[in-house]
């Protein structure tokens, strides 16, 4: 197991947005800086927000999938995945929707982690449990999560998230198969060896 900070591979950057407009604007700016849609994911409760935002990420939400999830067609925490859209039924929150590469990963991780729901899925992706619970609270409050899986563009991502009023911007680095909580203040960046 590696201990040197240089052995880490920065993987996830998470931003939390109050509005669809802020999230969509951030995604458009991410893409204009060269971050491909394949590295951008969105998690929200609102199917209309997901439809609008998924167009920004280049992932088209088929009407049937979005409607089925929104009307309670999601059973047992996992729904069918189609065209990059995934759905989970979260006890106490209800259905959530994910667009982008996280859709399949999130539902698979939630099932594999045994914890179920959004927390289990995020923990399965390498996000510490306490933070995953906070993200679930944000989603329950109607906020929108934007996740970027890119080691090459982290400074751009932080600038864009800050400019578009992200409530936070946390990053998680992993090495081998072990997860490390290396969250820092994204806007002051206290991490060594950038």
Chain-centroid distance of CA 38 in Å reads 12
Tokens of 32: 């204009």
Residue 56 pLDDT: 58
Q: 80-106 pLDDT, tens per residue?
A: 222 355 665 555 556 777 777 777 766
Domain assignment present for 191: no
Between CA 56 and CA 59 the distance in angstroms is 8
Number of domains the chain contains: 1
Edge-first strand order for the sheet with 9-17 is: 85-90, 94-99, 40-44, 144-148, 9-17, 169-175, 178-180
Structural domain contains residue 3: no
Is 193 within a domain?
no
Of 181, 175, 167, 193, the residue nearest 14 (C-alpha)? 167
* 121 within some domain: yes
139: phi then psi, degrees, rounded to nearest 5: -65, -40
Q: Is the pLDDT of residue 43 over 80?
A: yes
The mean pLDDT value of the chain amounts to 65
Instruction: Decide: pTM greater than 0.85.
Output: no
- Phi and psi for 97 in degrees, rounded to 5? -125, 145
Judge whether 2 lies within some domain: no
Mean pLDDT for 44-60 is 63
pLDDT band at 181 (very low <50, low <70, confident <90, very high): very low
pLDDT of residue 35 exceeding 50: yes
Helix (H) or strand (E) holding 171: strand 169-175
What is the reported pLDDT for 82?
A: 25
- Tell whether 117 is covered by a domain: yes
Q: Which two three-digit tokens encode residue 36?
A: 């491909």
By residue range, what is the domain housing residue 158?
A: 8-180
Max Cα distance, the chain (Å):
48
- Residue pair 7/175 in contact by the 8 Å Cβ criterion: yes
pLDDT single digits (tens) 122-159: 887 778 889 889 998 998 898 999 988 877 888 889 88
- Residue 121 predicted with pLDDT over 60: yes
In a domain, 189, yes or no: no
Count CB atoms within 10 A of the CB of residue 167: 12
At 146 the three-state DSSP class reads strand
Contact yes or no for 79/86 (Cβ under 8 A): yes
Strands (E), 60-159: 85-90, 94-99, 144-148
d(CA 61, CA 131): 28
């Amino acid at each position: 197991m590696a201990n040197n900070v240089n052995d880490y591979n920065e993987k996830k950057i998470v931003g939390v947005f109050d509005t669809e407009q802020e999230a969509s604007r951030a995604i458009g700016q991410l893409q204009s800086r060269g971050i491909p849609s394949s590295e951008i994911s969105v998690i929200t409760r609102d199917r209309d927000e997901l439809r609008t935002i998924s167009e920004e990420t280049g992932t088209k939400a088929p009407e049937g999938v979005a409607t089925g999830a929104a009307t309670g067609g999601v059973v047992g925490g996992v729904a069918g995945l189609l065209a990059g859209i995934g759905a989970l039924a979260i006890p106490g929150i209800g259905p959530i929707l994910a667009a982008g590469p996280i859709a399949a990963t999130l539902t698979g991780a939630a099932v594999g982690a045994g914890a179920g729901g959004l927390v289990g899925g995020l923990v399965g992706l390498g996000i510490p449990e306490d933070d995953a619970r906070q993200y679930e609270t944000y989603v329950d409050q109607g906020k929108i999560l934007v996740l970027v899986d890119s080691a090459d563009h982290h400074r751009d991502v932080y600038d864009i998230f800050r400019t578009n009023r992200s409530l936070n911007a946390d990053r998680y680095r992993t090495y081998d198969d072990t997860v490390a909580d290396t969250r820092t203040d994204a806007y002051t960046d206290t991490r060594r060896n950038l």
